[in-house]
Amino acid sequence: MNYYSDAITDLIDEFSHLPGIGAKSAQKLAFHVINMPEDQVKKLADTILSAKKNIHYCKECCTLTDQEICPICASSKRDHSTIMVVENTRDLAAYEKTGKYNGVYHVLHGAISPMLGIGPNDIRLKELMERLQKDVKELILATNSNLEGETTAMYISKLVKPTGIKVSKIASGVPVGGDLEYIDEVTLLRALEGRTEI
């Protein structure tokens, strides 16, 4: 039995498709939006649309940006010969928050997962290999410490080793299976400083 009108059910349904939103939260969000003043709802909808329209991958590092080249890649103050490989833009943000990393990044947008059918061609690996043609001294692998992250790190290190570029991996101070974005800055910094060559 449908307790709500179709419009409300549709809204609840849309929210329930978002990650981490269960049936209860979806209902809560839907009713919250319905009770919001119309101009605020419009602002929210416009912001979502504008983000979707204007945000794309940085031509260099593949992070999400509204410019052609993201501010990190565009900065002459950053060390462009050190590239840290992360799985997503949220991980990049976590390292940026420490304020102690001066190199640049490469965002893979995922990790290799044979179980989910995600192969090397499904992440931004080709773009990384192209970047390595330039003057790169060190590649820091900072993928997550779960199975997919480890598989990806191993795959990349095997691929890059023959080029002679130094490949290092962040220390295992990052809890196993822990998403990088949830780890505090001190732990991240320790993981970065304690990185070892592989």
Instruction: Residue 75: name the closest of 105, 100, 55 by CA.
Output: 105
For Zn ion, give the closer residue by CB, 30 or 92: 92
Asked if 86 touches Zn ion (CB under 5 A), the answer is no
The structure tokens listed for 56 are 């794309």
For Zn ion, give the closer residue by CB, 61 or 141: 61
Nearest distance from C-beta of residue 125 to Zn ion, angstroms: 16
Contact track, Zn ion, 150-179, x by CB under 5 A: ------------------------------
Cβ proximity of 168 and 141 under 8 Å = yes
Asked if 136 touches Zn ion (CB under 5 A), the answer is no
Asked if 108 touches Zn ion (CB under 5 A), the answer is no
Give the C-alpha separation, 12 to 93, whole Å.
30
Give the C-alpha separation, 24 to 194, whole Å.
43
The structure tokens listed for 41 are 């709802």
Asked if 58 touches Zn ion (CB under 5 A), the answer is yes
Cβ proximity of 142 and 163 under 8 Å = no
Q: Which stretch binds Zn ion (CB under 5 A): 10-18, 57-65, 130-138, 147-155?
A: 57-65
Nearest distance from C-beta of residue 100 to Zn ion, angstroms: 19
The structure tokens listed for 81 are 């010969």
Residues contacting 40, CB < 8 A, separation 6+: none
The structure tokens listed for 48 are 């979502």
Q: Which residue from 27, 60, 143, 152 is in contact with Zn ion, where contact means CB under 5 A?
A: 60
Nearest distance from C-beta of residue 65 to Zn ion, angstroms: 6
- In the DSSP assignment, the letter for residue 184 is -
Give residue for tokens 């940085």: 58
Q: Which of residues 61-80 bind Zn ion (CB under 5 A)?
A: 61, 70, 73
Count of residues near Zn ion by CB under 5 A: 5
Residues that bind Zn ion (CB under 5 A): 58, 60-61, 70, 73
